[in-house]
Chains A and B, each alone.
Chain A
Amino acid sequence: MFAAQKDSGADVSLTEAATTTLRIALVGNPNCGKSTLFNRLTGLRQRTGNFPGVTVERLSGFINLGDRPVELVDLPGTYSLHPTSLDERVVLDALLGLGDGRRPDAIVYVADATKLDKHLLLLTQVMDLGIPVLLALNFADEFAKRGEVLETPRLSEELGIRVLSISARTGEGQRWLETEMARLVKDLDTPTEHFFDPSELELEVAQLLEPSLPELTVYGRILAAHHARSSTTPAALRITRAWATDSPAFDSLRLQVRETMQRYDRFLPALSAAKRAARTDVSYSDRIDDVVTHPVAGPLIFFAILFLVFTAIFSWSAIPADMIEGLFAGAGAWIRTVLPEGYLADFLVDGLLAGLGGVAVFVPPIAILFLLLSILEEVGYMARAVFLFDRLMQRFGLNGRSLVALTSSGACAIPAIMSTRTIANPKERLITILVSPLISCSARIPVYAILIGFAVPAVTVWGIFNAQALAFMGIYLISIAAALISALVFKYILKSTERSYLMMELPTYRTPIWRNVFLTVWTKTKAFLFGAGKIILGISMVLWVLATFGPSEQMASAEQQAIERVAAADAPNLDLEDAVAEARLEASYAGHLGKLIEPAIKPLGYDWRIGIALVTSFAAREVFVGTIATLYAIGSADDNDALITERLSEARRSDGTKVYTMATAVSLILFYLFAMQCMSTLAVTWRETGTWLWPAVQTIYMTGLAYGFAFLAYQTLS
């Protein structure tokens, strides 16, 4: 009887396992080639978040093992399960199931075969969590080249888990790995070897936590006891409530050190039994570093690279951007010839197509920036830049790692803010998040491009420099200065007692793996196009509706008045159309909105039309150009984007003075330079800080700066 019951029970769990998708996590130290392996295994089947322009906490992708779909999760690299940064915290939460409540069913542990004496510490910790694991030794090709010998069967025997050699770079051993992974999820054997004997006290603590964490092993509960306090997930809070960690006998740090040393003492002999080393020095990397990290040459090289990156963005993206614009203009013209004149054609061309085009023109600069940044990262250069500028960044309350975020901000603040997770100190991380949006992102480029013509004449100064190009550079320098000065102010306002770390491995220089570069560009650009793009497109369409419709009586009377006015002046037919359209726009809902905020922005030199553009820009800055184009295009019969500048220069206030003077243009440029006008960025800040306080602080201080500087500029220049 009993046996029969047991069997049916096993059957049920088997069918359950077959229907629910198993989850395999990739775990390993930083620079172990984990992400390269992930890219190789999943390819384009990677899943990013559904939030505007944001990837989720972890990259995941579905693969087929045997005939079974498995979810593969790429966790951030970490040295140990005792976290010191948010990135490392994510790994612990995922492995203990404190995040979404689900632990991985199996783990592929990736280690650099050439640095096994360092990379096995984390493996022994993972093994003690009781999750089935296999060890993939990466860089097998390099290892062999260095003449070292590792007996994988022997290591496998010592560790009690499957061990295999692969090369994520060349794909060597991939088939074998997939077969082994299929076997891992089929058998689900938990590791039996242990590398740590907990002390009496730790065992006691584990016992205490058993009721609240029944599914974890003793070691899992000990980890929870060490680190639950520093986590904010609901599960962690439950543990903290269940167990007061104030007990003075539980000296968390001492116990962690004891555990770490015990692990080394046990796995190092196991490793040396399987390894015969032949030490050689990798010297090409050292020789590159002699130049690249040189105290004088190093910073010069960094700025030269930065200059090249931005030059490339401007010059390379011009042609594809023009082509995209031409494509959309052509499509618009075609729709107008096919469809009868009316609201449908107007909506498709001025609403939908204008919006789509506005999004699409950003794809080339964003893709190019991500391309170049990911190459620098892949090669191993970014870590050197962090090393060079760490102390300088610290003076401003930042961290060397902030440099990566601030540089990425030149493309988009969203990935920049997400990259701050590697900063261990919460205060430095927060300041980096707060000031990153001040660095001028690619979305501001078209705004500057339109306005700079009004602010600076296109003349040559000092013989060789284009005055407008110099002004462009000036704008970027102002934005960098603004970010650093704001950081300095926050450094003195915010209080923190937390430790700050740099302690970072400088990876060996390698030629970039193009698959990784391509996938980074692809996923990031896709996230922008379909995430942030949706918002921009939506706003363009809403704007078209607001600018086309209005209270019907007012619209009718405005139209009538315009017709009478033109008739009285006896003007030609074309002017009549323009005058009617302008009157209708003024009477529309958008016009009312613009008029409503006009008193507040008048001291900055803006009229109600710019008011509309400012309001819509709060969704995303790049909307400005689209809005201005829509607002001034709606009136005119011809729909040529190249005429925007010309049309703007003819725009006049009701008293007949020109709207776009030098003073207005400078004031607008400064406004866009400083103002927090990006909902997606605010959403990411909220996600990364967990409270609405910091998005609010960002909005207030940045927009305050914008208003102040725009006001000063307009009042002194006009």
Chain B
Amino acid sequence: MNEVPLQSDSAVQSDIPALKLAARQRGVVCGFADDCFAHKYLCMGVLPGSCVEMIRKAAGETCYFKIDGRTLAVRKEEAACLLLKRIAERM
């Protein structure tokens, strides 16, 4: 994990922003679309490889995520910068 994929310039098809997750959908962090938010995420322990689950959205698309077993409230813009690889739905 020496090189952090900060800017996902050549976003692969499967990279989706966490904002686009539907409730109960999950993904694994693969990068960040914005340096400033990225560092804040890193400091809070949201790293590439962290598992993100969308719990629900409040008014104005403020997101409520469960990330590695911890609950986090994140703004629309902040959620848009968190890039994920989708993983299969929970059975």
Given contacts A293-B58, A390-B62, A391-B58, contact A503 B72 (CB under 8 A): yes
Residue of B nearest to A115 (CB): B70
Q: Is A174 an interface residue (CB 8 A)?
A: no
Cβ contact within 8 Å between B36 and A254 = no
Cβ contact within 8 Å between A387 and B1 = no
Cβ contact within 8 Å between B59 and A506 = no
Q: Is A394 an interface residue (CB 8 A)?
A: yes
Q: How far is the CB of B42 from chain A (nearest CB, A)?
A: 5
Given contacts A121-B45, A260-B42, A390-B62, contact A499 B75 (CB under 8 A): no
Q: How far is the CB of B39 from chain A (nearest CB, A)?
A: 5
Q: Is A289 an interface residue (CB 8 A)?
A: yes
What's the Cα separation between A387 and B64 when bound, in Å? 8
Cβ contact within 8 Å between A391 and B76 = yes
Question: Could you say which of B1, B44, B47, B58 contacts A295, with CB atoms under 8 Å apart?
Answer: B58
Please tell me which stretch of A76-84, A472-480, A667-675 contacts chain B, meaning at least 4 of its Cβ atoms lie within 8 angstroms of it: A76-84
List the B side residues contacting A505 at CB < 8 Å: 44, 70-73
Given contacts A279-B69, A506-B71, contact A265 B59 (CB under 8 A): no
Cβ contact within 8 Å between A293 and B75 = no
Tally of chain B residues near chain A (CB < 8 A) = 36
Q: How far is the CB of A533 from chain B (nearest CB, A)?
A: 38
Which among B43, B45, B62, B70 has the greatest number of chain A C-beta atoms within 10 A? B43
What's the Cα separation between A664 and B74 when bound, in Å? 49
Q: How far is the CB of A568 from chain B (nearest CB, A)?
A: 72
Size class of the contact patch on chain A: 35 or more
What's the Cα separation between A433 and B61 when bound, in Å? 26
List the A side residues contacting B71 at CB < 8 Å: 285, 289, 505-506, 508
Question: Could you say which of B40, B47, B58, B69 contacts A501, with CB atoms under 8 Å apart?
Answer: B40
List the B side residues contacting A506 at CB < 8 Å: 64, 71-73
Interface string of A481-513 (1 = CB under 8 A from B): 000000000000000000111111110100000
Interface positions, chain B 42-60, Cβ under 8 Å from A, are: 42-45, 47, 55-60
Given contacts A281-B69, A392-B60, A501-B78, contact A121 B4 (CB under 8 A): no
Cβ contact within 8 Å between B72 and A256 = no
List the A side residues contacting B38 at CB < 8 Å: 257
Cβ contact within 8 Å between B55 and A289 = yes
Other A-B pairs beyond A118-B45, A264-B47, A390-B58, 9, CB < 8 Å? A257-B35, A257-B38, A260-B39, A264-B1, A286-B55, A295-B57, A390-B60, A391-B62, A503-B78
Chain B residues with CB under 8 Å of chain A are 1-2, 4, 6, 35-45, 47, 55-62, 64, 66, 68-76, 78
Chain A residues with CB under 8 Å of chain B are 79-80, 82, 84, 115, 117-119, 121, 253-254, 256-258, 260-261, 264-265, 279, 281-282, 285-286, 289, 293-295, 298, 383, 386-392, 394, 400, 499-506, 508
